[in-house]
Amino acid sequence: MIHPKIPNAQTVIQLCKAKKIKHIIISPGSRSAPLTIGFTNDPYFKCYSIVDERCAAFFALGIAQQLQYPAALVCTSGSALLNYYPAIAEAFYSDIPLIVLSADRPKHLIGIGDGQTINQNDVFANHILYSTSLKLDIKDEKNIPENEDFPIFKNLEDRLERFLGFQKDIQTFNEEEINIAINQAVARKGPVHINIPFDEPLYERDTKLSVTPKVSDISIKPKPLDNYIIQECFDTWNASAKKMVLVGVNQPNEIGKKWLNELSKDDSVIVLTETTSNLHHDSFFPNIDQLVGPLSVDEQKALQPDVLVTFGGLIISKKIKSFLRKYQPKAHWHIDEKNALDTFFCLSNHIKTTPHQFLEGLLTRITHHVKSDYHTMWEQVKQQRLEKHELYLKQVPFSDFKVFEILLQAIPNHYILQVGNSSAIRYTQLFQLNRTLDVYCNRGTSGIDGSTSTAIGCAVAATKPTVLLTGDLSFLYDSNGLWNNYIPKNFRIIVVNNGGGGIFRILPGHKNTENFDLFFETKHNLTAKHLCKMYGLEYSSADTELQLKSKMKSFYMESEAPKLLEIFTPSIVNDEQLLNYFDFIS
């Protein structure tokens, strides 16, 4: 087998292999050649070549999101590394493990005006679990620096002995740092950065390994649930007549159905689930904005919980955030092994365990439920809202609202639905979804910048087919995400093109002015048609309800290439239809 000659590169590659880091996303570059040579010549690794580093990082994010295990990124030195930052931030806030392997120049070539050099140490400082810069290998005894730390040795034998000692110390340090970084990514689920200086020559190869790095085990020990804490929670829970459970971004099948059923039996509990929670039960409340948006002041006061329990990732619904900040619970517990964000400014307890363990520990103690009409009251409101929702759909004209109804009903069973940010995910929140779907959205930073790349990475790693539902600006912003050779034939993209950032028309402000059109809504006349031709996707479009329903009949059928459907909606009426919706269902 062919290996890079540089020990640092050999060490990184061997430790990635030992820790089962299989998916390697490489962006072309010269300084990273030792890593590229090693990864691509070892059949263990699945290597991908993606030119645009920003797209490469989101592609890796999609893979890691599905595997719940790290994917590794390889880039050259300089600004290439900075292009990873949006995906690194998303991974940091979404608890997705990524390993960044950045090639760098030796220290003596940094800060002197050499090409493709920036200060790469700790470049992701505020959004990384662990960051390290490895030490440069000493190539031979002549390579030992001659300074106060490395005195000149006149005796060649003495110099050689010292050289071997220094290289051993460097190797030990580098092995320890690489082990720590990868172990952190796996155990704590998040991004880590390993910066690796390489000196020329970069392309030398060998058929034998010169180093055998020590592998430290990844330790993932679940913390036992503190009996005192759970008893304290139980006492408060059992004495409360109004309990709200709010679930954000959550992996499918993370919580046993037994405990979901137990929650449903308690009349003092309402469970609010977001589209991205991947939790389903007939007694839960899956359309939060539909429930909360039209509430009167008296109804808001009646909904105010005594106890709020939250788990999962960041919350999409602005309406529930606004409500809970105004009508705060007496106690707010967040269940998460890592972090607890004080989203509603009333966090009283961070319980460091999994939601499954917490519910099991809490609900097994309950022998009887407190008498309450909390759930019954809001179940009645939910049913009223659903009836009004259906009535509104019968009268709404062709618009984003109508389009999302048709699209979400048409997705086949057991698909992965990747949703773009901004208006796409907010419209999706308003509809009852097929429960066989797994739903994902980049809600860590809520940016529109990497939705396409993430969805393609997801499609590559997933065992189920994937469809991306996105808006026009998000799609165009990340159109380089199509610039790769790995898109599966069964991958589908749906672009809802309303000619700009339609969500800004919903927000307060002066609409229909030149300033608004240019700097907020960013009106445009672009389409995806020519991009599809360039990247080899089957393209179709629709701009009426009849056309859309007709296109959906064949859209998910087998094909020789991925498909994209672009739907053109009238930008002027979309905001009116959405705002009218909340008035109608109130």
pLDDT band (50, 70, 90) for residue 148: very low
Tell me: do 360 and 423 sit in the same domain: no
Tell me: do 351 and 465 sit in the same domain: no
Report which of 295, 293, 374 is spatially closest to residue 329, judged by C-alpha positions.
374
- At residue 141, does pLDDT exceed 50? no
Tell me how far apart the alpha carbons of residues 72 and 193 are, in angstroms, rounded to a whole number: 10
Report which of 286, 281, 331 is spatially closest to residue 304, judged by C-alpha positions.
331
DSSP code of residue 44: T
**How high is the pLDDT of residue 140?**
46
**How high is the pLDDT of residue 366?**
87
pLDDT band (50, 70, 90) for residue 510: low
Q: Using CA atoms in the order 444, 450, 454, 455, what is the torsion angle rounded to 10 degrees?
A: 110
Top pLDDT among 488 and 505 is at 488
Average pLDDT over residues 514-535: 79
Tell me how far apart the alpha carbons of residues 258 and 266 are, in angstroms, rounded to a whole number: 13
**How high is the pLDDT of residue 315?**
95
Residue 444, classed as helix, strand or coil, is coil
Tell me how far apart the alpha carbons of residues 7 and 170 are, in angstroms, rounded to a whole number: 10
Specify the number of domains making up the chain.
3
Report which of 167, 398, 156, 433 is spatially closest to residue 276, judged by C-alpha positions.
433
Indicate whether 209 belongs to any domain. Answer: no
| Angle value at C-alpha 501, between 522 and 531, nearest 5 degrees | 80
**How high is the pLDDT of residue 467?**
98
Average pLDDT over residues 89-114: 93
- At residue 92, does pLDDT exceed 60? yes
Tell me how far apart the alpha carbons of residues 134 and 106 are, in angstroms, rounded to a whole number: 10
> Where among 318, 350, 379 does a domain terminate?
379
- At residue 504, does pLDDT exceed 60? no
- At residue 159, does pLDDT exceed 60? no
Give the pLDDT confidence of 345-386 residue by residue, as tens digits: 999 999 999 999 999 999 999 888 899 999 999 999 999 999
Indicate whether 212 belongs to any domain. Answer: no
Indicate whether 462 belongs to any domain. Answer: yes
Tell me: do 429 and 356 sit in the same domain: no
Tell me: do 472 and 351 sit in the same domain: no
Report which of 282, 211, 210, 272 is spatially closest to residue 247, judged by C-alpha positions.
272
Tell me: do 401 and 375 sit in the same domain: no
Indicate whether 566 belongs to any domain. Answer: yes
pLDDT band (50, 70, 90) for residue 153: very low
> Where among 379, 412, 434 does a domain terminate?
379
Domain housing 143 = 3-202
Query: Within 315-373, where are the H helices?
Result: 318-326, 355-363
Tell me: do 236 and 162 sit in the same domain: no
**How high is the pLDDT of residue 507?**
57
- At residue 193, does pLDDT exceed 70? yes
Tell me: do 187 and 307 sit in the same domain: no
Tell me: do 66 and 146 sit in the same domain: yes
| Angle value at C-alpha 86, between 17 and 175, nearest 5 degrees | 30
Tell me: do 329 and 466 sit in the same domain: no
CB-hemisphere CA count at 13 Å for 297? Answer: 0
Q: Using CA atoms in the order 426, 427, 430, 433, what is the torsion angle rounded to 10 degrees?
A: -110
Tell me how far apart the alpha carbons of residues 285 and 300 are, in angstroms, rounded to a whole number: 16
Number of neighbouring beta carbons within 10 Å of residue 393: 14
Average pLDDT over residues 41-59: 98
Indicate whether 391 belongs to any domain. Answer: no
**How high is the pLDDT of residue 211?**
94
- Classify residue 397 as exposed, middle or buried by CB count within 10 Å of its CB (0-12, 13-18, 19+): exposed
Give the pLDDT confidence of 233-267 residue by residue, as tens digits: 999 999 999 999 999 999 998 888 899 999 999 99
114-123, 301-310, 509-518, 573-582: which is most confident: 301-310
CA distances from 95 to 64, 92, 192, 256, 338 (A): 10, 6, 11, 21, 9
- At residue 520, does pLDDT exceed 70? no
Indicate whether 361 belongs to any domain. Answer: yes
Give the pLDDT confidence of 464-502 residue by residue, as tens digits: 999 999 999 999 999 999 999 999 999 999 999 998 655
Indicate whether 384 belongs to any domain. Answer: no
- At residue 157, does pLDDT exceed 60? no
Residue 248's domain is classified under what CATH number? 3.40.50.1220
Task: Report residue 46: phi and psi, to 5°.
Answer: -100, 105
459 Cβ neighbours under 8 A, 6+ residues apart: 62, 416, 465, 466, 487, 488, 490, 491
* Average pLDDT of the chain to the nearest whole number: 91
Average pLDDT over residues 543-559: 96
CA distances from 492 to 538, 558, 566 (A): 10, 11, 11
Tell me: do 553 and 443 sit in the same domain: yes
Indicate whether 463 belongs to any domain. Answer: yes
Residue entry with tokens 């099991």: 360
Tell me: do 72 and 126 sit in the same domain: yes
Percent of the chain with pLDDT over 90: 82
Tell me: do 466 and 357 sit in the same domain: no
Report which of 390, 393, 119, 431 is spatially closest to residue 290, judged by C-alpha positions.
431
pLDDT band (50, 70, 90) for residue 406: very high
> Where among 379, 407, 437 does a domain terminate?
379
Residue 575's domain is classified under what CATH number? 3.40.50.970
